[in-house]
């Protein structure tokens, strides 16, 4: 009878493993016929949020419950306003917090927590007026002292935030941030003091607010005054992004390093309250009743499925309301009348280009770059590879963003001109070119993309380009530095905030990102430097336009395509407002307007 005992043991083991899941409702079939195994049943857990909103940790969605279920993709590494940097992390912060300014559906900078702001004459001082009577979701007051703390925390070297450099315009910020670890406490304190004077929270009488908890409670502490090290008329826009979000000091101190993982400490001033965050499974957000703007209408739930084929199946199964639409699934969507109506495709915030290393043979020769650029059929690329999920471009700033230049034709597809350019280069013929290698981060998708690209040069220019797939972090490590940067690779840039400065100065100025392919143009630098410090919007725009013109003229890269945001949205989701900067999911910039039409929900 040994055999039976064995079976018994196995069944019992199985039951125990499953019992650990503590499911009172549905018992596994295997267990049903056997003896009752002593279960350590943990009673249905409840998480009590700060707002006494009691929600079961694992709420079962019923057709009747109104909740917006979104597949976000990868799980965030960290959800801390001053430390996060990744799109998916920001998708969480966006809901929980609101900055001094924010962006509307036209990507204009509009008042957020600040009701107004003004620069001094030479744009070296920026003063925000905070709305009076603002509250956190837990009901505690929010004033200028809170924002001061956040900005100071962002600059503080101890924080070592990944986007800390974005506030380097604040006087003293780069110095304090860059202080050597070995520096004495006095040196550190001195540097801190400089920043502390550049970021001032002032009360009604213009005096600095009280320090610490008293300052946070001070009702008239409503002025935030920033001193900048150079004229920066775009800086109010920078403060619309997540680094300035006012996380609460006492929560960060009390919660320790992992404060951000707990809904208890993630208390913000945004339209939503973090209710529950189960790592790698889901996060749930409830509307914030204390939000000063338009109140959110439905709770939001994020899931973290990275496999797009699985997410697509789940969407078809009515398990998600919004998912990203992958190019591979587009054909299926188009063939299905229902799904086709649910597809939402609109311009995005990124520009992609084939980068040529300007200091590596043969791309030192501008004629060779021209030849490679002109032999790229962008329309075919968009149609065959991106399946229409993208739009061809010949310029840098994408449509929908301030600074976009319509009607650019330089570098357009023209195989004859391409061959002529190659003939006019110092090499003369395709055979005389040194070996050209296209390096890419290896994913199944990138493989097809780069195979297509190489095919273009082969067909249109007669040049054999080799492919070099590398692992993704290797790719990052290689492309970071001008020395190791590959001869040729595809790279894109997505807007942080809607201002030409973010596209031109931040990327192409000498010493900036363009450095990695050896781009350095003194004339360009002069133009953007002047534009960055010019207050007059019209003059500024003109200078940036000139700079972009110069960039395209010197053609260091082949501008290729702009991404589009492509999502599938269920018909019962209403009130979606989309912007190009919808990274994460459709409608993220204005989440409060979204509602669910219960009458359309499937029964």
Partner 1 sequence: MARFLIRRLLWLIPVMFVVAAITFILMHAAPGGPFDKDPQQRQVDAITQKRLNAQFGLDKEMWLDFPALMQGNVVGFFDTQFFTYMIGGTVNGEWRCGFICGNMGPSFRQRGMTVQQIVLDPPEGKSPWDSKAGYSLRLGLLALIFAVVVGIPMGVISALRQNTAVDYASLFIATSGVTVPSFVMGIFLIIIFAVWFHLIPVVPRDWSDPTVWILPAVVLGFGLLAQTARLTRASMLEVMRQDYIRTARAKGLSNRMVIVRHMLKNAMIPVVTIMGPALAALVTGSFIIETMFGFPGWGRQFVLAISQRDYSMILATTLVFALLIQIANITVDLVYTFLDPRMKVS
Partner 2 sequence: MATATVAGRRPIENTLNTKAPTSLWVDAWRRLVRNKAAMLGLVIVLLFFFVAIFGPWLAPHDPLQINSGQDFLPPAWAPAWSINTGKVGDPQFFMGTDTIGRDVWSRLIYGARVSMVVAIVPTIIITVVGVITGLVAGFFGGTVDNLLMRVTDIVYSFPDLLFFVVIMFALRGTFIGELGNGVFLLFVALALVGWVGIARVVRGQTLSIKEKEFVEASRSIGGDSRRIMSKHILPNILSPIIIIVAFSVPRLIIAEAILGYLGLGLRPGTSSSEFFVTSWGSMMLEGQTAINAQPFMLLAPAIAVALVVMGFTFLGDGLRDALDPRMRGTG
Nearer to partner 2, 210 or 491 (CB): 491
Q: Is 61 in the site for partner 1 (CB under 8 A)?
A: yes
Distance (Å, rounded) from C-alpha 154 to C-alpha 152? 5
Task: Provide the minimum distance between the beta carbon of 398 and partner 1 in the complex, in angstroms, as a whole number.
Answer: 15
The binder of 548, among partner 2, partner 1, none, by C-beta within 5 to 8 A per type, is: none
Burial environment of residue 98 by CB neighbours within 10 A (0 to 12, 13 to 18, 19 or more): buried
Q: Is 2 in the site for partner 1 (CB under 8 A)?
A: yes
Name the segment binding partner 1 (CB under 8 A); options: 125-133, 198-206, 486-494, 536-544: 486-494
Cα of 149 vs its chain's centroid, Å: 23
Distance (Å, rounded) from C-alpha 570 to C-alpha 585? 13
Task: Provide the minimum distance between the beta carbon of 372 and partner 1 in the complex, in angstroms, as a whole number.
Answer: 21
Task: Provide the minimum distance between the beta carbon of 545 and partner 1 in the complex, in angstroms, as a whole number.
Answer: 24
What are residue 282's DSSP bridge partners?
Answer: 278, 303
Q: How many CB atoms lie within 10 A of CB 94?
A: 23
Instruction: Of 511, 509, 515, 510, give the one whose Cα is nearest residue 491.
Output: 515
Residues 73-102 binding partner 1 (CB under 8 A) are 77-78, 80, 83, 85-87
Phi, psi of 287 (to 5 degrees): -60, 145
Nearer to partner 2, 416 or 464 (CB): 464
**What is the pattern of x (binds partner 1, CB under 8 A) and - over residues 130-169?**
---------------------------x--xxxxxx----
Specify the 3-state DSSP secondary structure of 376: coil
Phi, psi of 300 (to 5 degrees): -120, 140
Q: Rg for the chain (alpha carbons), in Å?
A: 27
| Binding site residues, partner 2, CB under 8 A | 308-309, 312, 326, 328-329, 331-332, 334-336, 380, 383-385, 387, 441-445, 447-448, 450-452, 454-455, 458, 464-472, 474-475
The binder of 33, among partner 1, partner 2, none, by C-beta within 5 to 8 A per type, is: none
Nearer to partner 1, 259 or 285 (CB): 259
Q: Is 57 in the site for partner 1 (CB under 8 A)?
A: yes
Task: Provide the minimum distance between the beta carbon of 433 and partner 2 in the complex, in angstroms, as a whole number.
Answer: 15
Work out the angle between the directed axes of helices 537-554 and 522-532 (0-180°, nearest 10): 160
Structure tokens at 409: 């034709």
Specify the 3-state DSSP secondary structure of 50: coil
The C-alpha angle 464, 468, 471, rounded to 5 degrees, equals 165
Structure tokens at 295: 């109140």
Residues 380-409 binding partner 1 (CB under 8 A) are none
Task: Provide the minimum distance between the beta carbon of 532 and partner 1 in the complex, in angstroms, as a whole number.
Answer: 18
Q: Is 22 in the site for partner 1 (CB under 8 A)?
A: yes
Residues 288-317 binding partner 1 (CB under 8 A) are 303-307, 309-311, 313-314, 316-317
Q: Is 542 in the site for partner 1 (CB under 8 A)?
A: no
The binder of 466, among partner 1, partner 2, none, by C-beta within 5 to 8 A per type, is: partner 2
The binder of 332, among partner 2, partner 1, none, by C-beta within 5 to 8 A per type, is: partner 2
Beta strands in 11-167, from DSSP E residues, in sequence order:
46-48, 54-56, 68-71, 101-103, 109-111, 114-119, 125-130
Task: Provide the minimum distance between the beta carbon of 474 and partner 2 in the complex, in angstroms, as a whole number.
Answer: 5
Instruction: Of 87, 65, 64, 66, give the one whose Cα is nearest residue 77.
Output: 87
**What is the pattern of x (binds partner 1, CB under 8 A) and - over residues 238-277?**
------------------xxxxxxx---------------
Nearer to partner 2, 471 or 523 (CB): 471
Specify the 3-state DSSP secondary structure of 172: coil
Distance (Å, rounded) from C-alpha 218 to C-alpha 485? 52
Q: Binding partner 1 by CB under 8 A: which of 32, 33, 45, 407?
A: 45
């Amino acid at each position: 009878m040994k055999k039976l005992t064995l079976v018994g043991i196995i069944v019992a083991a199985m039951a125990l493993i499953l019992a650990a899941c503590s499911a009172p409702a549905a018992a596994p079939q295997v267990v049903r016929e056997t003896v009752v195994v002593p279960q350590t049943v943990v009673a249905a857990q409840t998480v009590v949020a700060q707002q006494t909103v009691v929600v079961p940790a694992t709420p079962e969605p019923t057709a009747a419950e109104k909740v917006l279920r979104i597949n976000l993709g990868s799980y965030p590494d960290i959800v801390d306003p001053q430390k996060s940097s990744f799109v998916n992390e920001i998708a969480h912060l966006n809901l929980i917090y609101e900055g001094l300014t924010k962006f509307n559906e036209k990507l204009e900078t509009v008042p957020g927590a600040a009701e107004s702001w003004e620069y001094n004459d030479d744009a070296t001082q920026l003063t925000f007026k905070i709305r009076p009577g603002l509250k956190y979701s837990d009901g505690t007051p929010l004033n200028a002292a809170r924002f001061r703390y956040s900005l100071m925390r962002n600059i503080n070297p101890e924080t070592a935030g990944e986007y800390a450099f974005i506030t380097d315009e604040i006087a003293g910020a780069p110095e304090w941030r860059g202080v050597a670890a070995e520096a004495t406490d006095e040196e550190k304190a001195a540097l801190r003091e400089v920043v502390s004077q550049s970021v001032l929270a002032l009360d009604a009488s213009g005096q600095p607010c009280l320090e610490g908890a008293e300052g946070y409670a001070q009702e008239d502490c409503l002025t935030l005054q920033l001193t900048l090290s150079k004229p920066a008329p775009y800086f109010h826009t920078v403060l619309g992004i997540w680094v300035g979000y006012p996380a609460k000091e006492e929560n960060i101190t009390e919660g320790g390093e992992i404060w951000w993982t707990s809904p208890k400490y993630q208390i913000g001033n945004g339209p939503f309250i973090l209710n529950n965050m189960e790592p790698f499974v889901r996060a749930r957000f409830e509307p914030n009743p204390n939000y000063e703007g338009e109140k959110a209408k439905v709770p939001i739930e994020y899931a973290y499925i990275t496999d797009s084929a699985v997410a697509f199946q789940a969407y078809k199964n009515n398990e998600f309301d919004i998912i990203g639409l992958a190019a591979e699934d587009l054909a299926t969507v188009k063939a299905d009348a229902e799904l086709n109506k649910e597809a939402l495709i609109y311009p995005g915030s990124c520009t992609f280009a084939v980068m040529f290393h300007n200091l590596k043979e043969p791309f030192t020769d501008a004629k060779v770059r021209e030849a490679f650029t002109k032999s790229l059929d962008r329309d075919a690329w968009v149609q065959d590879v991106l399946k229409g999920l993208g739009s061809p471009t010949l310029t840098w700033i994408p449509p929908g963003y301030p600074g976009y230049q319509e009607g650019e034709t330089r570098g357009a597809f023209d195989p004859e001109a391409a061959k002529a350019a190659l003939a006019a280069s110092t090499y003369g013929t395709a055979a005389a070119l040194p070996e050209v290698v296209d390096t890419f981060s290896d994913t199944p998708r990138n493989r097809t993309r780069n195979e297509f690209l190489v095919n273009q040069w082969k067909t249109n220019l007669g040049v054999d380009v080799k492919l070099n797939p590398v692992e993704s972090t290797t790719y990052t490590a290689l492309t970071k530095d001008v020395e190791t940067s590959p001869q040729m690779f595809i790279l894109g840039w997505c807007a942080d905030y809607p201002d030409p400065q973010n596209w031109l100065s931040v990327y192409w100025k000498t010493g900036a990102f363009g450095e990695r392919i050896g781009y350095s143009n003194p004339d360009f630098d002069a133009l953007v430097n002047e534009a960055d410090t010019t207050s007059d919007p019209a003059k500024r725009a003109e200078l940036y336009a000139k700079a972009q013109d110069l960039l395209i003229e010197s053609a260091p890269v082949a501008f290729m395509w702009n991404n589009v945001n492509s999502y599938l949205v269920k018909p019962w989701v209403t009130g979606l407002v989309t912007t190009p900067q919808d990274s994460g999911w459709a409608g993220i910039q204005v989440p409060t307007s979204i509602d669910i039409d219960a009458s359309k929900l499937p029964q």
